[in-house]
Amino acid sequence: MRFDFNDIFSITQPNEYNCRVQRYNMTDAQSFMYVFVYPDSDLRNYFAIYFSFVRYYSGPMAWHGANFRLAPYTDCVNLLRRITGFQEYPSEEEAKVSGLISRDQHYKMYLSGSNELGVSIVALHAEILQADQL
């Protein structure tokens, strides 16, 4: 599987950053993850990417490069079907017709890292938070 690097968070010079899973909480009520993003030379100058309603994580706890992109919708749904056993996730066409995609109310698979050492996060939402927002 090949993915193009489309930096969905518009991080300036993403290859000059490192990422580290700082906090991952999974409970029955809510699951979330904070990925701290910091320049190569300064651990104190960071921001975070907050992922909410996390259903899946695969990858190392730290990696180089802050390029994040979205996997195709069908890849995300196929993974969710495999890990949950729930087969009723809508197809991409059904999600478009129902408005789930236009309202951004569906799970997305966020990808980062290289193809050899990739990071996959399936979450409902992700946003950048500055250090003073944490």
Q: Say how far apart CA 10 and CA 130 lie, in whole Å.
A: 14
Is 18 inside any structural domain?
A: yes
Secondary structure of residue 92 in the 3-state scheme: helix
Is 119 inside any structural domain?
A: yes
Q: What is the pTM of this model?
A: 0.84
pLDDT at 63 over 50: yes
Is 34 inside any structural domain?
A: yes
Domain count, the chain: 1
Is 66 inside any structural domain?
A: yes
Is 86 inside any structural domain?
A: no
Question: What's the mean per-residue pLDDT of the chain?
Answer: 85
Is 89 inside any structural domain?
A: no
CA dihedral 61, 67, 69, 75 (to 10 degrees): -40
pLDDT at 110 over 60: yes
Full residue range of the structural domain in which residue 117 is found? 14-70+109-133
Is 35 inside any structural domain?
A: yes
In this structure, are residues 77 and 68 in contact, taking their beta carbons and an 8 Å threshold? Answer: no
Kindly report the backbone phi and psi dihedral angles of residue 59, in degrees, each rounded to the nearest multiple of 5, phi listed first: 145, 180
Q: To the nearest whole percent, how much of the chain has pLDDT over 70?
A: 88
Is 88 inside any structural domain?
A: no
pLDDT average, residue stretch 82-107: 76
pLDDT average, residue stretch 11-28: 89
pLDDT at 58 over 60: yes
pLDDT at 52 over 90: yes
Task: Look at residue 45 in the predicted model and tell me its pLDDT.
Answer: 85
